[in-house]
């Protein structure tokens, strides 16, 4: 072989070696690139009312919605996975089995050794919860001699460990669960004296546990998303930017108002009688709600929530304005829906559901749920005409007529001349009432959704619905 021939023979080999070198020198894909290449963001969470659950439109919850917005921004799909316990969740993030945890996790110094937290999206407190009728704990010293339940591996367990290290007399026990509801049940049933839970979880659960109350706030916590500390920071930086931007744009406040905004109006007496009525009245009608739900395409718990708001599930209910029956139909609506006897519970529920469906179908298709459903529910109460007027007014004022949050603010304006003067249907007295009406129904609906998956009411309700 001449030298020239040898050079030709070796050239491809040299190219191969060169290519190999270039490959080896190319940096590994970053954590952010791995997510975008995979086309999927894997988020670990837990199913609780403050984080992630299912309702009539599928998956929802504060954490779920926020995580979905982040996945959308990255242009990838979202895969939610569940962890049974907090330690398992933290391990999954630290080991890279999930890209991040979005699960109402508090930022703690201990966790920061393994994890990196984004800016906080919610400030909460640790509530010391006790049974009404027992001495209310008011300060740390009052914890002495009482058995406290905390979630295993939680920020609260950490708080109590710190207190113990400082010499306080605190007797606590970690409970193997990922759900604050479990702790509340244990106190409610007398297995523990106190529970330490996140204030946001306490607020959402309170109505399911009217016998429990909050003694005092033990500490403040900040909730944030957790990402692994090891590895590069690219995904963390993206999450952090997202969080900061969404906060500044008011999206976080909007989510807060969506998931917590309709809670306040629910008091102890209302909560207690709601639970009693679930046991005493709902069983009589659950099956009818379910059938009507099948026919109309709504979640039976939504129809049940409406029936509760309308009449407290009382088929004999009558209002001074002449509406009547379990679903409180006017004479005209009853006629339109083809029923004779409005006090016949079965007929009332079927007609109410079919009427709601009719309203829903008249609302433009492009309006996404959940807005479309709440608009239909509002129209059930205030009338389609006034709802339409409120939507037109919303648009005139530069807001979004397809958003229930924007439209509801205009409903009360329809009783002021300067606003109703130019509308098609004129003066509407009940604008404010219809906002409260929808808010209550959302509250009852949420409670029914959670109650169907809770340990205590769940079995009865699920049995009723089947
Ligand atoms: N936020 C708590 C934590 O970070 C979880 C406990 C709870 O949900 O009450 O550990």
On whether residue 165 sits in a domain, the answer given is: no
Nearest atom (ligand 1) to Cα of 198: 9
Write out 162-219 in H/E/C secondary structure.
Answer: HHHHCCCCCEEEEECCCCHHHHHHHHHCCCCCEEEEEHHHHHHHHHHCCCEEEEEEEE
Nearest atom (ligand 1) to Cα of 124: 1
On whether residue 146 sits in a domain, the answer given is: no
| Most confident by average pLDDT, 17-21, 40-44, 175-179 | 40-44
On whether residue 159 sits in a domain, the answer given is: no
User: From ligand 1's centre to the CA of 307, what distance in Å?
Assistant: 35
Contact, 139 vs 217, CB < 8 A? no
> Which parts of 341-426 fold into alpha helices (H)?
345-362, 371-382, 384-396, 404-410, 417-420
Supply the pLDDT for residue 6. Answer: 58
User: From ligand 1's centre to the CA of 198, what distance in Å?
Assistant: 6
User: Is residue 141 scored above 70 in pLDDT?
Assistant: yes
User: From ligand 1's centre to the CA of 122, what distance in Å?
Assistant: 12
Q: Is 359 in the pocket of ligand 1 (CB under 6 A)?
A: no
Supply the pLDDT for residue 237. Answer: 97
User: Is residue 465 scored above 80 in pLDDT?
Assistant: no
Contact, 229 vs 116, CB < 8 A? yes
- 22 vs 55, residue with greater confidence: 55
Lowest-confidence segment of 21-35, 246-260, 291-305, 334-348 by average pLDDT: 21-35
On whether residue 357 sits in a domain, the answer given is: yes
Please, which pLDDT band fits residue 210 given cuts at 50, 70 and 90? confident
On whether residue 90 sits in a domain, the answer given is: no
Beta strands in 27-97 (DSSP E): 40-45, 53-55, 58-60, 77-82
Bridge partners, 455 (sequence order): none
Q: Catalytic residue, from 310, 316, 336, 418: name it.
A: 310
Residue with tokens 């907090």: 86
On whether residue 28 sits in a domain, the answer given is: no
Q: Is 104 in the pocket of ligand 1 (CB under 6 A)?
A: yes
User: From ligand 1's centre to the CA of 181, what distance in Å?
Assistant: 11
CA distance 408 to 433: 11
Lowest-confidence segment of 21-30, 92-101, 287-296 by average pLDDT: 21-30
Mean pLDDT of 133-142: 95
Structure confidence by residue, pLDDT tens digits, 356-398? 999 999 999 999 988 999 999 999 998 999 999 999 999 999 9
Contact, 404 vs 374, CB < 8 A? yes
On whether residue 292 sits in a domain, the answer given is: yes
Please name which of 349, 374, 255, 248 lies closest in space to residue 293, comparing C-alpha atoms.
Answer: 349
DSSP state of 318: B
Top mutation candidate among 180, 194, 206 for ligand 1, by most atoms within 8 Å of CB? 180
Please name which of 93, 97, 95 lies closest in space to residue 116, comparing C-alpha atoms.
Answer: 93
What integer best gives the mean pLDDT of the chain? Answer: 89
Structure confidence by residue, pLDDT tens digits, 452-462? 776 666 555 55
The residue range of the domain holding 317 is 271-465
Residue 425: give its domain's CATH number. Answer: 1.10.530.10
User: From ligand 1's centre to the CA of 88, what distance in Å?
Assistant: 13
Top mutation candidate among 86, 91, 112 for ligand 1, by most atoms within 8 Å of CB? 86
Using a cut of 0.75, tell me whether the model's pTM lies above it: no
User: Atom 5 in ligand 1: which residue has the minimum CA distance?
Assistant: 154
User: From ligand 1's centre to the CA of 203, what distance in Å?
Assistant: 14
Top mutation candidate among 46, 61, 105, 209 for ligand 1, by most atoms within 8 Å of CB? 105
CA distance 190 to 359: 47
| Percent share of the chain, pLDDT over 90 | 68
Q: In the chain, how many domains are there? A: 1
Structure confidence by residue, pLDDT tens digits, 387-426? 999 999 999 999 999 999 999 999 988 877 778 878 888 7
* 310 a catalytic residue: yes
| Structure-derived torsion over alpha carbons of residues 158, 162, 167, 172, reported in degrees to the nearest 10 | -10
User: Is residue 346 scored above 70 in pLDDT?
Assistant: yes
On whether residue 417 sits in a domain, the answer given is: yes
Q: Is 328 in the pocket of ligand 1 (CB under 6 A)?
A: no
- 235 vs 257, residue with greater confidence: 235
């Amino acid at each position: 072989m001449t030298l020239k021939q040898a050079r030709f023979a070796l050239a491809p080999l040299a190219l191969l070696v060169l290519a190999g070198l270039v490959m080896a020198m190319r940096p590994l894909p970053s954590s952010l690139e791995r997510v975008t290449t995979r086309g999927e963001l894997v988020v670990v969470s837990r199913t609780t009312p403050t984080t992630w659950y299912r309702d009539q439109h599928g998956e929802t919850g504060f954490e779920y919605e926020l995580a979905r917005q982040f996945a959308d921004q990255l242009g990838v799909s979202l895969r939610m996975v569940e962890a049974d316990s907090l330690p398992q969740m933290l391990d999954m993030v630290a080991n890279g089995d999930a890209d991040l945890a979005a699960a109402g996790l508090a930022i703690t110094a201990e966790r920061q050794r393994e994890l990196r937290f984004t800016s906080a999206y919610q400030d909460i407190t640790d509530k010391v919860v006790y049974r009404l009728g027992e001495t209310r704990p008011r300060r740390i010293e009052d914890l002495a001699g009482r058995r406290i339940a905390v979630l295993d591996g939680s920020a609260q367990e950490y708080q109590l460990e710190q207190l113990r290290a400082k010499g306080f007399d605190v007797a606590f026990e970690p409970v193997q669960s990922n759900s604050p509801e479990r702790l509340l049940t244990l106190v409610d049933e007398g297995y523990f004296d106190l529970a330490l839970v996140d204030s946001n979880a306490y607020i959402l659960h309170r109505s399911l546990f009217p016998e429990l109350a909050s003694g005092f706030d033990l500490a403040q916590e900040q909730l944030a998303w957790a990402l692994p500390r090891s590895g590069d920071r690219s995904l963390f930086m993206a999450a952090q930017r997202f969080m900061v931007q969404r906060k500044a744009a008011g999206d976080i406040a909007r989510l807060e108002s969506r998931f917590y905004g309709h809670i306040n109006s629910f008091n102890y007496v209302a909560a207690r009688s709601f639970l009693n009525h679930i046991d005493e009245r709902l069983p009589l009608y659950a099956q009818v709600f379910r059938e009507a739900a099948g026919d109309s395409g709504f979640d039976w718990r939504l129809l049940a929530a409406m029936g509760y708001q309308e009449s407290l599930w009382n088929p004999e209910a009558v209002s001074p304005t002449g509406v009547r029956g379990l679903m409180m139909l006017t004479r005209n609506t009853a006629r339109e829906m083809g029923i004779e006897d409005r006090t016949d519970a079965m007929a009332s529920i079927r007609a109410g559901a079919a009427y709601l469906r009719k309203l829903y179908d008249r609302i433009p298709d492009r309006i996404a749920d959940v807005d479309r459903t709440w608009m239909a529910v509002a129209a059930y109460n205030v009338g389609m005409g006034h709802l339409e007027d409120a939507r037109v007014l919303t648009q005139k004022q530069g807001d979004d007529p397809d958003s229930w949050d924007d439209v509801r603010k205009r409903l009360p304006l329809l009783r002021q001349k300067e606003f109703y003067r130019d509308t098609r249907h004129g003066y509407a007295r009940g604008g404010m009432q219809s906002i409260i009406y929808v808010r209550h129904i959302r509250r009852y609906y949420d409670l029914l959704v959670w109650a169907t998956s809770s340990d205590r009411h769940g079995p009865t309700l699920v049995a009723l619905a089947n």
